[in-house]
Amino acid sequence: MIETGKKLANYLIKEKIGVGGMGSIYSAIDTMLNRQVALKVIHPELLSNRHLIEKFKTEARMHAQLNHPNIVTVFSFEIIDKDYIIILEYVDGKSLKALLQETYPMKMADIFQYFKQILRGLNYAHSQNIIHRDIKPGNILVTKLGQVKLSDFGIAKILGTWEPSMSGFVMGTPCYSSPELLSGKAIDSRTDIYSVGITFYEMLAGVPPFCADEYTDEEIQQKQIHETPPPPSKRNPQIIKELDEFILRTLKKRPEDRYQSAMEMLGELDKYERIKTNE
């Protein structure tokens, strides 16, 4: 059992800082190296599920391949006292979700700064043949100095190894998931392009296009698959026409109609950033 104030091998547990579907996150001090780290510990009740254990190991291996300033670094994977643990870089900051809740509407300069970093991290992951599959504000961390880091590659897959989910079972978060992912079709890096477009939409408009408390997950899925989102300027009149067009292209239902890469999006975004906005 993980307890704050106690040591787990050479890790001194400070506090629990998060909980996810697969495990809990703790901040800790690596007493061997005298540095702060984050520990992702698989939930004890999942330890009997061999499939999930292998999934947890796969996450650690895939994430450890990524070395980029806009992606949280994995230091190691360890089994300590029967606990399965991924040791991660500790990010001193907040999630983009928390920042949006605290500071919406954000300054346009900050939105561009954060979003460009998201795209750089995503472009690097794709260059390593890894798709994230769960891009959303809650999985994007922002340090106190404004550096953005993609986190939680728990359901990421290496391109070429993904298979459609079983009918009725969807990986990811419906509010941010692409139509092809929700339909159980084969996916590629363009599914992340859709999710990052939803994220940018929320940064500008304050809410994702198809997400509301009165909708069930099934209703949200159907909207993602079939409905055209309203332009974000409908919710925030400060948004210029060019950004409406940029975002709506990322949210096309057919992957071939979207931007084809994060790098292509970066090139377009540079043009729009130079356009004077009504901030």
Per-residue pLDDT of 187-237, as tens digits, reads 999 999 999 999 999 999 999 999 988 899 999 999 999 999 999 999 999
Compare 42 and 225 and report the one with higher pLDDT. Answer: 225
- Residue spans in the chain of domains classed CATH 1.10.510.10: 93-273
Q: Compute the distance between CA of residue 278 and CA of residue 153 in angstroms, rounded to an integer.
A: 36
- Residue spans in the chain of domains classed CATH 3.30.200.20: 7-89
Give the three-state DSSP class for 81.
coil
Q: What percent of the chain has pLDDT over 70?
A: 91
Query: 196 and 118 in contact (C-beta within 8 Å)?
Result: yes
pLDDT of residue 155: 61
Is residue 267 scored above 60 in pLDDT? Answer: yes
CATH of 7-89, one of 3.30.365.10, 3.30.200.20, 3.40.50.720, 3.30.70.260: 3.30.200.20
Which of 42-51, 53-62, 192-201, 265-274 tops mean pLDDT? 192-201
Query: Count of alpha carbons within 13 Å of 271, Cβ hemisphere only?
Result: 8
Tokens describing residue 161: 């190894």
Q: What percent of the chain has pLDDT over 90?
A: 72
pLDDT of residue 171: 55
Question: Could you give the residue numbers annotated as active site?
Answer: 134
CATH of 93-273, one of 3.40.50.720, 1.10.390.10, 1.20.140.10, 1.10.510.10: 1.10.510.10
Beta strands per DSSP E along the chain = 7-8, 11-19, 23-30, 35-42, 74-80, 83-89, 93-95, 130-131, 140-143, 148-150, 157-158
